[in-house]
Amino acid sequence: MMDYFYASGIRGACRLTLGALVVAFTCSGALAEDNPRDPYEAFNRPMFAVNEAIDKYAAKPVAQVYDNAVPLPVKASVGNFFGNAGDLWVGVNSALQGKFGDAGVDLGRLLINSTVGIFGLFDVASELGLERHDEDFGQTLAVWGVDGGGYLFWPVIGPRNVRDTVGFAVGTYADPVMYVRPVSVRNSMAALRFVDVRASLLPSDKVVEEAALDKYAYIRDAYLQRRRSQIFDGRPPRLDD
Amino acid sequence: MMKKLLTLFFFGFVASAAYAQEAPDVLVQRVTDDVLEIIRKDKEIQNGDTHKVIDLVDKKVLPHFNFSHMTALALGKEWRKASPQQQQQLTSEFKTLLVRTYANALTGYKNQKVVYKPTKMAPADADVLVRTEVLQPGSKPVQLDYSLEKLESGWKVYDVVVAGISLVTNYRDQFGQEVRNGGIDGLIASVAAKNKSLEASAKK
C-alpha cells in the first residue's frame, strides 16, 4: 500500500521535504501530542489533508485514466521496467545489510532482466526463480540500529518516519531515473513511474476507505506495521498482546 | 427410515470430524482455491456486486474465522474490562466491518496467482502461521499470512496479515481512541455507525 510513496523521485520535492523536516523539529515542542507513536500528529494531520486533496484532484484521476486506457501487458512492462531500474539500489542495500547472497540475486536479476528481459520490460529473472527483494536505505539504517524517530506525513511522498525520510532522500541520489537526460525525458519518466505505482494502488483505495474509522490513523498504523515487517524481511518477531 | 437417518447422521459426523482434523495450511489452501474459483467464474462479483460477494464470504470463509478472538486482539487490554454483552455486540459489529472490507478486496481480484509457502508446524502446535504470496504481473509479490489456532471445532483464523499489516491489530489505536472518547459503548456505536453508512452507500 505504501509503495506509491516511493514513486516520486523528484529531488525538488525532496529538498522541500528536508526543509519542512527542520520546521517540524523546531515546532515539535509545541506540537507534542498524547500518542507516543505519533509525536508530530499536529503537523501530520494538516499535511495528510493536503495530500488527500492532491490525490483526489490530481494523482488519482490521472492514475484512473492510465489504468483504464493502458492494457495490462503494457502496465506490467512499465512496472517491470522501473522495478529493474531500482534493482541495483536494492542490491546495494542488501549488501549494506550484510545479506550478500541476496545482493548477488539482485545483481543477477539486473543483468538478466536488462539483457534477456529487454531493458527490464520483462521480468525474466522472477520466472527463473530469482526473487525480487524489498530493500531501501531506510531499512538499511534500521538494520544499522538507527532509531526511527517520530512518524511524519509528507504531501506527495506520504508517510515516512524521520529515518525513512532520510533514507528516501539518499535513495533519490541512487535512482537511475534521476540521471536520465534530457531533463524533459527524466521528468516524464518520473511522472510515469508515479502514475504507474499510484494506479497499482487503486484497488486498495476502497478497502482503506471502507475499513478505517479514522483514515489518518489507519494509514499511519499500516505504515508502522509494514515498515517493521520490511525491516525484518517479512518475519518480524511477534509482539505480545 | 430411522436407519437411513442414522446413516446420514453418522456420515455427517464423520465428514465434520475429517474437517476438524484438516491441517491449517490445507484448510487455507482449500478455502482460498474454492473462493477464487467461484470469483473467477462470476462476472457480477468481478463487477463489484457487494452483496453477492458478502454472501460468498459468509458461506465459505466465515465458518473458519474466530471473530471474538479477532475483536479481543483489535481492542487489546480493554477487552477484559468489557462486559460479556459488550464483547458480543462489538464482535458482531467488527465482524460486519471486516467482512465487508475483505469481501470488497476480493472483488478487486483479477489476474493474481496465490502461492502457498511451506508451513512449519509440529503435531502438538495449537497456533500456526500459514504463509501465502499473491503474485501479480508487473508488481512485487504481496505477502498474505493467516494466523490460525486449534479449537475443538477445528482450526480457526484469528488474524490476517497483508504485506506485514495485520488487518486486526491495525485497529488497536483507533479503537483505543474511541474508548477514550466514549467508553466501550462509544466504540460499539462508532463501528455500528460506520457499518450503517457503508450499507447505505452500497444500496445506492
pLDDT-derived band at B5, boundaries 50, 70, 90 = low
Rounded to two decimals, the pTM is 0.85
Taking contacts as CB-CB distances below 8 angstroms, the residues of chain B near A204 are 105, 108
**Is pLDDT larger for residue A9 or for residue B97?**
B97
A132/B141 CB distance under 8 A: yes
pLDDT of residue B201: 83
pLDDT-derived band at B156, boundaries 50, 70, 90 = very high
Taking contacts as CB-CB distances below 8 angstroms, the residues of chain A near B169 are 225, 241
Please check whether residue A28 is in contact with residue A163, taking contact to mean a CB–CB distance below 8 angstroms.
no
State the residue for C-alpha cell 502438538.
Answer: B124
pLDDT in tens, A100-128: 999 999 999 999 999 999 999 999 999 99
Question: Is the complex ipTM more than 0.95?
Answer: no
pLDDT in tens, A156-200: 999 999 999 999 999 999 999 999 999 999 999 999 999 999 998
Cell readout for A94 is 542488501
Distance from the Cα of residue B157 to its chain's centroid = 7
B138/A78 CB distance under 8 A: yes
Q: Is the pLDDT at A31 greater than 80, yes or no?
A: no
Q: Is the pLDDT at A14 greater than 50, yes or no?
A: no
Q: Is the pLDDT at A3 greater than 50, yes or no?
A: no
Which residue on chain A is closest to B163 by alpha carbon? A226
Q: Which amino acid is at B53?
A: V
State the residue for C-alpha cell 487490554.
Answer: B77
CA distance B63 to B72: 18
pLDDT of residue B112: 83
CA distance A236 to A221: 15
pLDDT in tens, B58-85: 999 999 999 999 999 999 999 999 999 9
pLDDT in tens, B20-35: 578 999 999 999 999 9
pLDDT-derived band at A240, boundaries 50, 70, 90 = low
Cell readout for A207 is 478497502
